[in-house]
Amino acid sequence: MRWSLELAQALVVLVLWVCCGSGTGCPCSDRALCEPVTVEHEFEVFVFDVGGKDWKYYDWFKVTTIAAFGPYDPELLCYAHANQVRVVLRAGMLEGTIYAECHWVGEGQMNHLIIIWKPPTGSVTVQMATNWVTFNVPWSPDCIDGRCYDFLRIANSCDFLFVMSYDMQSQMWDNCFAKANAPYYQTLSGYSAYINLGIDSRKLVLGVPWYGYDYTCTQFFETGRCVLEKIPFRGAPCSNAAGRQVPYKEIVQHVHKSITGRYWDDEQKVPSYIYMVNNTFHEVWYDDPQSISIKSAIMKKLRLRGIGMWNGNMLNYSDDHFIVKQTEDMWNALCPL
């Protein structure tokens, strides 16, 4: 499916109407904060936010862009712009979703657009009348979950691609065992595949998960051999639909109470743990500061544009000393020395 320039312009108009329709004018006490963020960051740290006020506790020394998935929050816009951080908002359209920055409600002038669109099949050409365009892509260009797009042409039409290097077990072809959400070598292979298509590595932002999967074992033999219910997805006999997503802030509360404690898998380079409820074993695979740091090193290895995560709300931002240290470690893992 190919996007025409006319459709692109129509989408831009829609986004302007959704984000910047008639209304109240600049919501910030300092009118200058309603102007576009013009700072160019050499290193991108892209944070998805799903709502609430957790953003007040983000590491604003690191963040360069906030993608706001929750209700529009003018306070977030003003605070982010005060820190020279872009904010992009969400608006629904057709089969997929578009994201666009609105500098201020009422009189905003859009100059940033993020496209996250999932057409049924075929390649996509993105052409947008704007000066900052990005596209979310799966962890690999090899037709993951039926996303058989023309990624090179998309990349050439965008400023960068956000690579969603998580949910890698959405299609399990080999066996129906619980596995890591984002194994290291699988992650690395995805970026290598994009670069081998001819995509400039500086157009790739590494996406990492701040969540894991809790799998119920239909049979349990040992760590790493938790048999799952067979839930097929797009032709694959098994999938991560057999588990439930668990935020990191919940995981850190449970791991030390588990049967195994934190268990490091050196092959997948991620941790896991086992617990039992009503005589049923559960295996939880997740990412923590160690596994995130290892994946973050891919940025230097392949000279990527930056890093981001789904999502910033997955951490605990309480003032408990132990929790504060865990949260700081996760933020610091995004930018290894």
Residues 6+ apart with CB under 8 A from 279: none
Query: Which amino acid appears at position 155 of this protein?
Result: A
Sign of CA dihedral 74, 209, 64, 136: negative
Nearest to 170 by CA among 142, 145, 195: 145
Phi and psi at residue 18, to the nearest 5°: -65, -45
Question: Whole-angstrom Cα distance, residue 136 to residue 138?
Answer: 7
**218 three-state secondary structure:** coil
What Cα–Cα distance (Å) separates residue 144 from each residue in 67, 76, 141, 281?
A: 23, 34, 7, 30
> Rounded to whole angstroms, what are the CA distances from 131 to 109, 189, 212?
12, 30, 35
Q: Look at the alpha carbons of 41, 46, 52, 55 in this order and tell me if their dihedral is positive or negative.
A: negative
Is 229 considered catalytic here? no
Handedness of CA 193, 198, 201, 207 (dihedral sign): negative
- Which residue among 42, 44, 75, 107 is the active-site one? 107
DSSP string across 18-50: HHH-SS----SSSGGGGSPP-PPPSSEEEEEE-
Residues 145/150/156/162 CA torsion (nearest 10 deg): 0
Catalytic residues: 107
